[in-house]
Amino acid sequence: MSDPTSEFFAGISQQRQVLPRGLTGVVRCDLRDGERTEHWYVTIGKGDVTASREGAAADCVLTADKATFDAIAGGEMNAVAALLRGALSAQGEIILLTALQRLFPAPSDAQDRPVAGYARRTS
Amino acid sequence: MSADVKILDGNTFVVSDDRGDIEASLTDPTGLFSFDTRFLSKWILTIDGQRLNPLSIDDLQYFETRFFLVPGTGTVYIDAKLSVIRQRAVSDGFHEDLTILNHAETAVDLTVRVEAACDFADLFEVKDALKKQGAYYARVDDGHLTLGYERETYVRETWISATEACTVDEDSLTFAVHVEPHEQWSTELHVAIGRDARGPASGLTAGGRRATAARPSMELSLQKWLDDAPELDCDWDPLKRTYRRSLVDLAALRFSPVMLPGHYLPAAGLPWFMTMFGRDSIFTSLQALPFNSDLARTTLTALGLWQGTRRDDFRDEDPGRILHELRFGEMTAFEERPHSPYYGSVDATPLYVVLLDEYERWTGDATLVRALEGQARAALAWIDDYADLQGNGYIAYQRRNEKTGLENQCWKDSWDSISYRDGRLPGFPRATCELQGYAYDAKMRGARLARLVWKDPAFAERLEKEAAGLKRRFNRDFWVEDGEYFALAVEPDGSKVDALASNNGHLLWSGIVDKSKAKAVARHLMSPAMFSGWGVRTLAEGEGRYNPIGYHVGTIWPYDNSFIAWGLRRYGFKEEAARIAAGILDAAEFFDGRLPEAFGGYERELTKYPVQYPTSCSPQAWSTGAPLLLLRTMLGLEPTGEHLLVDPALPSGVGRLELLDIPGRWGRMDAFGRGRVDVQKRSGRKTPGPAAPRKKS
């Protein structure tokens, strides 16, 4: 069975180029799945980001149902809207969440390129 | 009753009538609002079942007001034996001191009642009169009244309490009050707001379950803001008033993004636009830079954090794109509106780079420029990789979200703003002219930062080469030969959308205009068809769609004019810039120093006073910033290396003008000037030319 959350965290370290420089901290994601809660620690370094299942003190804690986070990690749900809706909640340094939301994938139905095509003149 | 008493703090604000009461209908923007949601739609004070009458209102501060009231609903006050004072301050909800004074010789027993209700409307629903989908509840516990709204996981609540004993039911607080002769009674009412009763506040919309009190720090904060700003002194008193009004309004419009607590950026305007807007926040920060650079720093940081990273058609998001608008209400939360955030603006992205460079030129803050290098590079890449929708090297726009996205993504965003002379509207994608100017400027300024701060001369060279190519092509492809000005836009087939519009002034500001063409452009801007005597019209008189009270097709926008004046100065047309400054600042006097978003394009000699365009947004940030930018252009303030150049060209009516303690990389500097430009001179057919050099003191 596919697990969009695991896949998202596994690929997260490839995404360093989009993070603002100078932003550092740890976001702990507490994902509720029935009786158990899955923890992920996302460490945002100097333009660098890694994820693991183990960690220590977090600067920001994000709480959600696993199913909700799966939908976000799979590009089916928008994280910011989910946060406004209360489907996600966060405490601590919200600025780190702003950084994390940048890493979630695009919706799968988005067009790759502008409608009218694309060309670049060099002179 | 008029509903026009507004107080605010960040994006929390109260709009009430002149008694302090709130009786909102769904379509009516009165109430207590926070984070785009109404938290109180009814708030009515009665004494023995009677409404009160206003005697006077004291606007103490932008966040605080005081209502003096007497009982009775008639128009004649017959020796009122009671008076009532409501003093209200906004802060995470509001706080109201209610005082009743008994002027009689005998004691009185009164029933004082405050009725409360809330519809929890999203601002978008108030604008569009839409119906709610969730459920309401009200609860009384422990002397508090809780009003709530719930839709799935979305919960918003309002908590109402008082310091004096009262009977609380689900729609009111009732006090049994006894007041001795010549004595008074008072209570404090607290209205607190929040997103969830079941846990502490979380996420993007702050607000916790706590009784709030007006923060004494707000008054200090305003005083500090005013103290930190340069001091203006001049012979023309209205300008001093306008300057102070601008500073206070700008303070009122400050908005602290939740992810950057304690830092402020300018929100766009009250009441509809108390949120982060890419375009408005950038333009206002640019206008304010000589007076305050914190707004620019926070704007750059916040917009950088929210910069687009992926393709999302619903939000019109692309990698590198700067957001248009961020909202927090229910419709955004349920993705019925795309503002989480929405990216459908095509100018904010190049303007982001422009602001970053201008910020560095004033402050010398290379640290921020280094921290935002990735954002600036992504913004520059967006111009080439995602904005070239016509495939001809020009920035153009066409929304991908056809249901709830914005059709016009430039500042003139009304449906009829972009037209041919004969009134025809072009198709999409639309490449409006000012966008090309911004792109040119972004590349030139990006090149400067690349060389100076990012130490990447190869990138700088590439950007300069691209900018030069763009400028060459633009001056060929947009130039209307028979009119000698730049077309408003071009179509994909190369057709020039040939109406004459104020966008030409923004082109001067950007620097994309060939020197040989600048004189003709300046002449047009100051011609009777464009310059009304108060300012430059958005669209020239005589064009097919010209209408002196058409939103973007004939009205005069103070913000637009401030950038036009800057553009004229950039090309050496000092006297023309002074004439615009004089016109707009004269107009400001008619509005008590608070310039509206727009006013009518009628000839000044015809109406004698500027006719306000009917709009609900006031104060509005970039109108508030216009006098600041006009002060800059009149004084000719220009940071050059570690110094501030001053080259005044002031309207003669201003007399002596001093701007003291201008902050920047030089520390603090003073600028002095004396009004010598005769702005009464008929502007008509006069050929503009560089003014005679004026010596600064």
Which H helix or E strand runs over B461? helix B457-477
Q: What percent of chain B has pLDDT over 70?
A: 91
Task: With CA atoms as reference, report the closest residue to B243 among B579, B625, B664, B561.
Answer: B625
Of B259, B314, B374, the CB nearest to A98: B259
Give yes or no for A14 touching B (CB within 8 A): no
Check residue A113 and give its pLDDT: 52
Query: Higher-confidence residue: B61 or B518?
Result: B518
Check residue B257 and give its pLDDT: 79
- Contact between chains at B429 and A115 (C-beta distance less than 8 A): yes
Say yes or no to pLDDT of B187 above 70.
Answer: yes
Strand partners of residue B33: B13, B38
Q: Which amino acid is at B54?
A: P
Check residue B690 and give its pLDDT: 33
Phi, psi torsion values for B533, nearest 5 degrees:
110, -30
Average pLDDT over residues A6-21: 81
Looking at this predicted complex, what is its ipTM? Answer: 0.89
Say yes or no to pLDDT of B204 above 60.
Answer: no
Check residue B74 and give its pLDDT: 56
Distance CA B445, CA B138 (A): 56
Residues of A in contact with B388 (CB under 8 A): 114, 118-120
Sign of the Cα torsion B160, B166, B170, B172 reads negative
Of B152, B315, B469, the CB nearest to A85: B152
- Contact between chains at A86 and B155 (C-beta distance less than 8 A): yes
Enumerate residues 6+ apart whose C-beta is below 8 A from A94: A60, B203, B204, B258, B259
CA distance A100 to chain B (A): 10
Check residue B142 and give its pLDDT: 86
Distance CA B13, CA B274 (A): 9
CA distance B285 to chain A (A): 21
CA distance A68 to chain B (A): 12
Task: With CA atoms as reference, report the closest residue to B397 among B376, B383, B380, B377.
Answer: B383
What does the pLDDT look like over B425-456, one tens digit per residue?
A: 999 999 999 999 999 999 999 999 999 999 99
Strand partners of residue B110: B177
Give yes or no for A116 touching B (CB within 8 A): yes
Task: Give A 29-48 residues with CB within 8 A of chain B.
Answer: 47
What does the pLDDT look like over A74-86, one tens digit per residue?
A: 999 999 999 999 9
What does the pLDDT look like over B284-296, one tens digit per residue?
A: 999 999 999 999 9
Check residue B661 and give its pLDDT: 97
DSSP A46-103: SS-EEEES--S--SEEEEEEHHHHHHHHTTSS-HHHHHHHTSEEEEE-HHHHHHHHTT
Helix (H, G, I), strand (E, B) or coil at B176: strand
Check residue B538 and give its pLDDT: 98
Query: Higher-confidence residue: B255 or B536?
Result: B536
Check residue B206 and give its pLDDT: 44
CATH class, B5-214 region: mainly beta
Q: Which of A42-51, B13-22, B519-528 has the lowest mean pLDDT?
A: A42-51
Check residue B659 and give its pLDDT: 98
Distance CA B140, CA B160 (A): 10
- Scanning the structure block, which residue is given the tokens 């489907």? A87
Which token pair is B625? Answer: 């910033």
Reported confidence tier of residue B266, pLDDT bands at 50, 70, 90: confident
Q: Which of B17-21, B488-492, B548-552, B684-688 has the lowest mean pLDDT?
A: B684-688
Of A84, A104, A118, the CB nearest to B340: A84
**DSSP conformational letter for A14:** G
Which token pair is B127? Answer: 């604008």
Query: Higher-confidence residue: B268 or B391?
Result: B391
- Contact between chains at B388 and A114 (C-beta distance less than 8 A): yes
Query: Higher-confidence residue: A94 or B457?
Result: B457
Reported confidence tier of residue B25, pLDDT bands at 50, 70, 90: confident
Q: Is residue B616 packed enough to be buried (19+ CB in 10 Å), middle (13-18) or exposed (0-12)?
A: exposed
Distance CA B121, CA B131 (A): 9
Q: What percent of chain B has pLDDT over 90?
A: 77
Say yes or no to pLDDT of B199 above 70.
Answer: no
- The domains found in chain A, sorted by start residue, are 4-101 (3.30.1050.10)
Q: What predicted TM-score, i.e. pTM, was given to this entire model?
A: 0.91
Average pLDDT over residues B536-549: 96
What does the pLDDT look like over B487-517, one tens digit per residue?
A: 999 999 999 999 999 999 999 999 999 999 9
Average pLDDT over residues B157-173: 96
Of B202, B310, B375, the CB nearest to A90: B202
Task: With CA atoms as reference, report the closest residue to B242 among B518, B628, B653.
Answer: B628
The dihedral over CA atoms of B209, B213, B216, B221, expressed in degrees to the nearest 10, equals 50
Give yes or no for A92 touching B (CB within 8 A): no
Say yes or no to pLDDT of B616 above 80.
Answer: no
Check residue A115 and give its pLDDT: 42
> Please, are residues B507 and B515 in contact by the beta-carbon 8 Å criterion?
no
Check residue B383 and give its pLDDT: 97
Residues of B in contact with A87 (CB under 8 A): 152-153
Q: Which residue of B has its CA nearest to A120?
A: B393
The pLDDT mean for chain B works out to 90
Query: Higher-confidence residue: B131 or B476?
Result: B476
Q: Which of A15-19, B20-24, B36-40, B140-144 has the lowest mean pLDDT?
A: A15-19
What does the pLDDT look like over B336-392, one tens digit per residue?
A: 999 999 999 999 999 999 999 999 999 999 999 999 999 999 999 999 999 999 999
Reported confidence tier of residue A98, pLDDT bands at 50, 70, 90: confident
Reported confidence tier of residue B51, pLDDT bands at 50, 70, 90: very high
Residues of A in contact with B392 (CB under 8 A): 119, 121
Domains of chain B, residue spans:
5-214, 221-252+525-697
Which of B149-163, B211-225, B602-616 is the most confident on average? B149-163
Distance CA B102, CA B94 (A): 26
Query: Higher-confidence residue: A116 or B572?
Result: B572
Q: Which of B9-18, B180-189, B252-261, B440-449 has the lowest mean pLDDT?
A: B252-261
- Contact between chains at A117 and B391 (C-beta distance less than 8 A): yes
Task: With CA atoms as reference, report the closest residue to B8 among B249, B276, B227, B217.
Answer: B249
Say yes or no to pLDDT of B581 above 70.
Answer: yes
Say yes or no to pLDDT of B615 above 90.
Answer: no
Reported confidence tier of residue B127, pLDDT bands at 50, 70, 90: low
Number of CB pairs < 8 Å for A and B?
132
Say yes or no to pLDDT of B260 above 80.
Answer: no
Check residue B651 and give its pLDDT: 94
Reported confidence tier of residue A16, pLDDT bands at 50, 70, 90: low
Which token pair is B460? Answer: 């700088």
Check residue B256 and give its pLDDT: 80
Task: With CA atoms as reference, report the closest residue to B47 among B12, B72, B18.
Answer: B72
Distance CA B7, CA B17 (A): 12
- Contact between chains at A102 and B200 (C-beta distance less than 8 A): no
Check residue B196 and give its pLDDT: 56
Say yes or no to pLDDT of A95 above 60.
Answer: yes
Distance CA B557, CA B615 (A): 12
